[in-house]
Amino acid sequence: MARYLDVHPVDPQPRSIAQTVAVLDEGGLVAYPTDSGYALGARMGDQQAKERIRSIRRLDDRHHYTLVCRDFAQLGQLVHVDNHVFRAVKAATPGPYTFILPATHEVPRRLLHPKKRTVGVRIPEHPVVRALLAALGEPMLSSTLILPGEEEPMTDGWAVKEALDHVVDVVLDSGECGTEPTTVVDFTSGEPTGEVVRQGAGAWPAR
């Protein structure tokens, strides 16, 4: 059964965050709130946890996994960002956006799109995930928690626990969170402002 942790939405309890990080360090999979619904998270290099995400969401090899970053400095270590992309991404972060960009050698090969050598990155605004990333000390492998057959992410902690009680290890519940998935912008398409792959919570271009 998943451990259920009720945390404050603005000032999450350090003990709950530490317990979650300990589970991640042991190879666990967590469901956590973001500014764009719930997401599944694991350590970046954890192949088994990645396969668990893939199984829960029934993803194929073409899926872009996301590396969730604490700040722009972390993001810049994972992807190649030229000047015009830098300005666009900087204007939109933190916020409900995922950006697809060419990956650096810091990203494990098995996390890359098999043909494009790209990866998704984002910097969320939700205080709980930002506290989690600060305690973890590194980016987190993540995927929006959209169950098979659904179009919108899960948004209620108790509903997540009931649906995924035996397939995740921790559910962090901070009450209401974002109800739309991230807007996904592909900066490898050749378009100067990127190509919107999925329109979600964030308007693009960001203002």
| Residue with tokens 């350590």, as numbered in its chain | 43
Q: Are strands 170-173 and 118-122 parallel, antiparallel or unpaired?
A: unpaired
Rounded CA gap, 120 and 142, in Å?
9
- pLDDT number for residue 66: 95
Other beta carbons within 10 angstroms of residue 135's beta carbon come to 16
Q: Read off the pLDDT of residues 105-116 as tens digits, 9 standing for 90 and up.
A: 999 888 887 778
Q: Which fold has domain 3-198?
A: DHBP synthase (3.90.870)
pTM: 0.92
Domain ranges of the chain: 3-198
Query: Averaged over 157-175, what is the pLDDT?
Result: 96
Q: How confident is the model at residue 205 (pLDDT cuts 50, 70, 90)?
A: confident
Please report, to the nearest 10 degrees, the dihedral formed by the alpha carbons of residues 106, 121, 70, 143 taken in order: -110
Q: How confident is the model at residue 179 (pLDDT cuts 50, 70, 90)?
A: confident
